[in-house]
Structures are given as structure tokens and as C-alpha cells.
Amino acid sequence: MDCPEYKRFEDYLDDHHLNRLKNYQYRSVDHSPTTKYVLRHWWEYVAGWMPPWLAPNMITLIGLMFIVVNVITVVIYIPDLKTDAPSWVYFSFAFGLFFYQTMDNVDGKQARKTGTSSPLGELFDHGIDSLNCVLGGLVQCAAVGSGHSLYAVFILLVACWPMYLSTWEEYHTGVLYLGFINGPTEGLLIAIAVLLSTGFRGVQLWNQPVENYISLPQSIVIYFAKFGHQLKLLDLFVSFVMFALVCGHAPTCFYNTYMAIRDNKSQPRSKQDPRISSFSQALLRLSPLLIFTFCSASWVASPHSHILKREKIIEFGLMLCFIFGRIATRIILSHLTKSSFPFWSGMLIPVIGGSIVINLPLIGLSVMSLIEFLPLLNNLNVYILIPANINTNQHKPSLIGPPSCPPGEN
């Protein structure tokens, strides 16, 4: 089947995309009792204080600025991601995250109140959310004292998965589904609780043995003792995050996507959406996230990597922030315009390139020096970003990126 978006280069929006954008209608479902019975009233109260001249997107941006301030505070007070900072630092982290959550929900109410709701608002809102995944992850790393370790990398990467899966799910179902327990509500409240706990007890709390707080089966204690490791609260925190993702959020996204595809296939052929024709096709669309995760992890975990040794997780995290933000927003835009799924983003090149280059010694080849490698990354970023400034009215293709969808997609 012909795919107008399947071209050698990544195109800007054409008239067909813009027409679909005009007809787009936002749909969402939120089953969270916390939202329904508690936070909704707080958000409505705050929204009532917003002046009508304040743009919804500005409210979203103000919320992000508090997260940026949190990250700057980490750089100043906790650059090693494990130092026990003054209590007010962690309390400010908690306030910043709660303020961000509030603004993230108030912006939509402001848009409806002022009659300025638009697809651009959803793109901007969810795009900001995608940036916050890694930025918020950096703050959590500092709060639990992960240090510049593989635990820190895990926290940064696993923070991106719920956002990607929800965006992937919305692309196939047309609905932003928030379950009874979801990331934007309960997930952020748990993160706030972690920050407050560190503020009251200090970062050393997370290095305490789990058995000081929870009675564990002796078999588990013995198992970890074999490896010379005592199970700590930090281990429990990481395990809880992984459990919530694998056993809670991910299955819900897969189920909703599967049901949407099944319902689509039951429609008359003339009414079917060819973008969601099979579940195997939907699973293939997880490949950008898998590539992003694998390359990031293999880069840092390589025995030849200096990111952990030189304590560069914060810089690495900032790079991941913008890469993931680009990946997520392209999926959101494809959903808004009913376009083919964007399998590729040029922003993946730095992390793929870094992963390959740093692991070259494993196959007997030499690694480029840091002096050689940084200009390479800089040139790649310039190569990727410059085309974004070309006048979109001329519908010129960008100069980077393989096909946005495989043959057979429409």
C-alpha cells in the first residue's frame, strides 16, 4: 500500500497533515480516585486564580521551569548525586515537583476557560512531560543517593518508559488512558514522598538495610549475602519502580492497544484505520524506545566508558532528555495528524554513535579520543538541528533521517 509519508527524508507537515490537525479532537480517560476526590478540587481552585490573559502553554512552561530549577540545585549542591544536602534542598525538590504537577493539570483547565484549546497545546504539554522524565529522574537520583552509578542510569531510562508506552498507546487507541493508579498522579505523588522522606531523614536513609524496616524471608537475605550485597532501601525503591512498570503500567498499555486494534479490524474495510492494522506492527513500533534504552545502557555500562568514572551522569542525562523529548513529540505529532508512525529520529544518532564508538575495543578496534569524539557529536547535532529552522511554508524536506514508516504503512 502506498505510504505518502514513506520517503527517503523526513518531511514537514503538508496540507493533508494540517487538515487532519484541524479536525483533531482530544480524548482522555482518568480513573484515578486520587484525581477525582482530592487533586481535582485543588487544580480547579488554582485554575480559578489564573488571569485570562495568561496563555495555557505559558502555564506549562512555568511548571517546567521549577523542574529546571530543581536540576540546577542538584548541580550546585549534589553534583555527585549522593552527598547529603541541607534538608531545604529536598523540600524544594518536592515543592517544585508538586508545582509542576499542578501546572501540568491547570493548563488544560485554563485552555478550556479561555477557549484556546488546540492540538498545539497537547503537543506542547506532552512534549514538556517527555522532557521532565529524565530531568525528574536526575532529581530522584540525587534524592536517593544513587551516585554516578548504573542505578542512576536505570532510574533515568526507566523514567522514560511509562511516557513512551502511554504515547504509543494513545497513537493506537486515540485516547489518553490514565488508570486507577497512574504515573502523572500517583507516580508523581510517590516521587514527592521520596523527596520528602530524604528531606526528613537524610540521603543516608536509602543506604539503610531493608530488614531494619521490613521483615524479609531469610532465604532472600542469604541469597544477596552470597554476592556480598546487603539489600538496602535503594534496592527496594528500584525494584518497586520496575515492578510498577512491568506489572502495572505496561500490561495496561498493551491490553488497551490490543483491544483498539481488534476493534479496528472488526470494522468494515472502508472504515478501518490502516495505521493500526495488526498488533505485531504495534509491537514493532516499540523499537525506537528499545534502541534508545539499549544504546544508552551499553554506552554507560561499557568497560571503556568514562561517564561513570568521571561522574558525567548529569551531562549524559541532559543529552538523553532532549533525545527522548524528540522521540516522544514526533509520536505525539503523528497521532495528532494521523500520520504514519515515526520509527526514526535523527536525534538518535549521537546515542547510537556513542554506543558503537565506545565499544569498538570489544572487537579489537581503537576508540576515538574524547577530543575527537566531542566535535563529532557537535557536528551531528548541528546537522540534525539546522534543518529544523528551514521555512516550513516551503515544505522543504530535512536533510537527515531514514524512512518514517516501513512499506505497507499508510
Buried b (16+ CB within 10 A) or exposed e, 18-47: eeebeeeeeeeebebeebeeebeeebeebb
* CA–CA distance, 313 with 148 (Å, rounded to integer): 6
* CA–CA distance, 237 with 281 (Å, rounded to integer): 34
- Name residue, grid cell 485543588: 42
H or E segment to which residue 178 belongs: strand 176-178
* CA–CA distance, 101 with 184 (Å, rounded to integer): 7
Q: Are the C-beta atoms of 94 and 195 separated by less than 8 Å? A: yes
- The reply to whether 304 belongs to the active site is no
- Backbone φ, ψ for residue 131 (5° rounding): -70, -35
Among 17, 41, 126, 395, the one annotated catalytic: 126
Interior CA angle at 299 toward 295 and 304, to 5°? Answer: 150
The span from the first CA to the last CA of the chain, in angstroms, equals 7
Q: Which residues are catalytic?
A: 126
